[in-house]
């Protein structure tokens, strides 16, 4: 009988040893906090990646718009330059004929307005 009690005591001790590692697998509060921080960092990293992707997309769109605006400004500058030459020719011809040049005022004013807009546009695309 003593032999049975001895074996029973040994088995009970071993059973308690088996239960102890189970308790140690539970995470400490410190580890739980660290894991939560890592989850937060992972979520923020995903949001940052998405924002960066959007920023790159907007930057590329802006670069395309800037190139288009540069082409448009160049084309309009050429058109205005040609218009000014035509106004100058018309003014010289009117001077030679002695005709009133007041009809050219509208065109000169128009060229002046466009030149102001071009300056502003050129400031934006620098």
Does any domain span residue 9? Answer: no
- Tens of pLDDT, residues 47-84: 999 999 999 999 999 999 999 999 999 999 999 999 99
Does any domain span residue 14? Answer: no
Domain count, the chain: 1
Q: What is the dihedral of CA 109, 110, 112, 115, to 10 degrees?
A: 180
Count of all residues that appear for the chain in the document: 126
Predicted confidence (pLDDT) at residue 3 exceeds the cutoff of 80: no
The DSSP call for residue 98 is T
- Alpha carbons 32 and 68: distance in angstroms, whole number: 54
Does any domain span residue 12? Answer: no
Average of per-residue pLDDT across 87-113: 92
- Tens of pLDDT, residues 17-54: 554 444 556 768 777 777 788 888 888 989 999 999 99
Does any domain span residue 16? Answer: no
Does any domain span residue 6? Answer: no
Domain hosting 33: range is 27-124
- Alpha carbons 30 and 74: distance in angstroms, whole number: 64
pLDDT at 66: 93
pLDDT at 72: 94
CB-based contact 125:77 (threshold 8 Å): no
Does any domain span residue 22? Answer: no
């Amino acid at each position: 009988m003593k032999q049975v009690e001895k074996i029973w005591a040994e088995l009970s001790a071993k059973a308690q040893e088996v239960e102890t590692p189970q308790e140690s697998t539970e995470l400490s509060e410190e580890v739980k906090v660290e894991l939560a921080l890592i989850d937060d960092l992972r979520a923020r990293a995903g949001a940052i990646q998405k924002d960066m992707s959007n920023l790159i997309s907007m930057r590329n769109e802006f670069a395309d718009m800037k190139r288009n605006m540069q082409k448009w400004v160049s084309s309009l500058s050429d058109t205005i330059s040609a218009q000014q030459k035509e106004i100058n020719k018309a003014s010289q011809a009117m001077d030679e004929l002695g005709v009133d040049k007041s009809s050219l005022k509208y065109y000169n004013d128009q060229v002046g307005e466009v030149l102001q807009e071009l300056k502003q546009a050129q400031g934006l695309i620098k």
